Amino acid sequence: MSVEVSRGLENVIIKTTGLTYIDGINGILRYRGYDINDLVNYASYEELIHLMLYGELPNRQQLNQVKGIINESFEVPEQVISTIFSMPRSCDAIGMMETAFGILASIYDPKWNKTTNKELAVQIIAKTATITANIYRAKEGLKPKIPEPSESYAESFLAATFGKKPTQEEIKAMDASLILYTDHEVPASTTAALVASSTLSDMYSCIVAALAALKGPLHGGAAEEAFKQFVEIGSVENADKWFEEKIIKGKSRLMGFGHRVYKTYDPRAKIFKTLAKSFAEKNENVKKYYEIAERIEKLGVDTFGSKHIYPNTDFYSGIVFYALGFPRYMFTSLFALSRVLGWLAHIIEYVEEQHRLIRPRALYIGPEKREFKPIELR
């Protein structure tokens, strides 16, 4: 029998989904049929939570219900906060997030239940804001702060993180970033969550599995790496020289460029660029990084466009996070803060509608049967 191994599970269809559609040739991304541009322009993250979990954009009453659950669910068990604040400030932010969700898994251990799964998911999303904000606060040596109820999840999160009321522009940009990173079908982290959910492990543990996969530099870390390049370049005058030496002669990969699925511009990159530009117009430091990024984008597209390698979502997102006041070490956690909705929507879709234990096979290529030798004879 001939068996083919799909390295990296490439082209393996692991489930059907009504959540996210990607057309990598034409650069199209839709959540439940709605174009990503329309969602960023006209919807809020709370509306997206309803769309992803319940299948439809909410009416006023449904939206108020989602907001109500969020506003009531920011509290986390005291052990979560005390553990985050007892960890050394040098700890990795995603590692701290895994720890926090591990504590929630130990305390709650909820069972799957079709009548409560979705509401629990909304509660978990609220708690993710609390965890993320307090990881920043602990690492910065600040005091714990639980997000306060507000009209917007983005606003509650930013206010708790930085301890001050965010501007409307900051809220809008945070909201857009939450929407942009919400879901992307079944990348490594979502697949890890699905594998855990297929054993009927609880939702919190599934998030730990997803975070573990997200943490690696080949997945969640690219926004930080892309921004590091702009810091290293330092000024737009150095961009061409840096590109020539590092990327052309040095043959390094241009971070924030290229994608397994998109063979053209990632539609999210264009939206993040617009957001970055609007911050750059008001802030000289942001402007510096924006100008560097724009020049590198031009050089990157001129060099790699013929190989279908274009900016991905992480190319400009770091500049937006920087403009919002986040240090680089938080970029992957901000990705997780948003993606938790995608993870939850996928595992609920899987467990409720198409559940089966995920248990692939490995093709044995080791030695044939051998005689056991006692240790003295080896």
Please list the active-site residues.
259, 314
Instruction: Measure the CA–CA gap between 131 and 97, rounded to whole angstroms.
Output: 7
Q: Which of 147, 258, 318, 342 binds ligand ACO (CB under 6 A)?
A: 258
C-beta separation of 129 from 135 below 8 A: no
Using CB atoms, what's the residue nearest to ligand ACO?
A: 258
Least Å from the CB of residue 168 to ligand ACO: 27
Identify residues 205-224 at the interface with ligand ACO (CB under 6 A). 219, 222
Least Å from the CB of residue 311 to ligand ACO: 9
Place of tokens 């490439």: 10
What is the per-residue binding string for ligand ACO in 303-322, x denoting contact by CB under 6 A?
-x--x-x--xxx--------
The Cα-based distances of 241 to 149, 231, 238, 246, 250 in angstroms read 49, 14, 6, 8, 12
Residue range at the interface with ligand ACO (CB under 6 A); choices 60-68, 140-148, 191-199, 247-255: 247-255
Instruction: Measure the CA–CA gap between 327 and 337, rounded to whole angstroms.
Output: 15
In the chain, which residue ranges form alpha helices assigned H by DSSP?
36-42, 45-54, 60-72, 78-86, 93-108, 117-139, 153-162, 168-180, 188-198, 203-214, 222-233, 239-242, 267-280, 284-304, 314-324, 331-353
- Give the nearer residue to ligand ACO in terms of CB position, either 127 or 268: 268
| # residues contacting ligand ACO (CB under 6 A) | 16
Identify residues 313-372 at the interface with ligand ACO (CB under 6 A). 313-314
Least Å from the CB of residue 341 to ligand ACO: 15
For helices 314-324 and 168-180, angle between their N-to-C axes, nearest 10 degrees: 150
- Give the nearer residue to ligand ACO in terms of CB position, either 45 or 310: 310
The DSSP annotation for 264-313 comes to S--HHHHHHHHHHHHHHTT-HHHHHHHHHHHHHHHHHHHHHGGGT--B-T
Least Å from the CB of residue 194 to ligand ACO: 17
Check residue 297 for interaction with ligand ACO (CB under 6 A): no
Residues 6 or more apart whose CB falls under 8 angstroms from that of 373 comprise none
The Cα-based distances of 152 to 39, 113, 263, 272 in angstroms read 16, 28, 35, 20
- Give the nearer residue to ligand ACO in terms of CB position, either 135 or 254: 254
- Give the nearer residue to ligand ACO in terms of CB position, either 309 or 330: 309
- Give the nearer residue to ligand ACO in terms of CB position, either 210 or 255: 255
Least Å from the CB of residue 143 to ligand ACO: 33
Q: Which of 12, 232, 237, 260 binds ligand ACO (CB under 6 A)?
A: 260
Check residue 255 for interaction with ligand ACO (CB under 6 A): yes
Q: Which of 165, 241, 253, 282 binds ligand ACO (CB under 6 A)?
A: 253
State whether residue 189 is helix, strand or coil.
Answer: helix
Least Å from the CB of residue 156 to ligand ACO: 25
Q: What is the largest CA-CA distance in the chain?
A: 78
Least Å from the CB of residue 253 to ligand ACO: 4
> Around Cβ 243, how many Cβ atoms within 10 Å?
22
Phi then psi for residue 375, to 5 deg, are -60, -35
- Give the nearer residue to ligand ACO in terms of CB position, either 83 or 303: 303
- Give the nearer residue to ligand ACO in terms of CB position, either 145 or 270: 270
* Dihedral sign from CA coordinates of 68, 69, 75, 80: negative
Check residue 254 for interaction with ligand ACO (CB under 6 A): yes
Residue range at the interface with ligand ACO (CB under 6 A); choices 189-197, 253-261, 336-344, 357-365: 253-261
Amino acid type, 181: Y
Which residues make up the interface to ligand ACO (CB under 6 A)?
A: 219, 222, 253-260, 304, 307, 309, 312-314
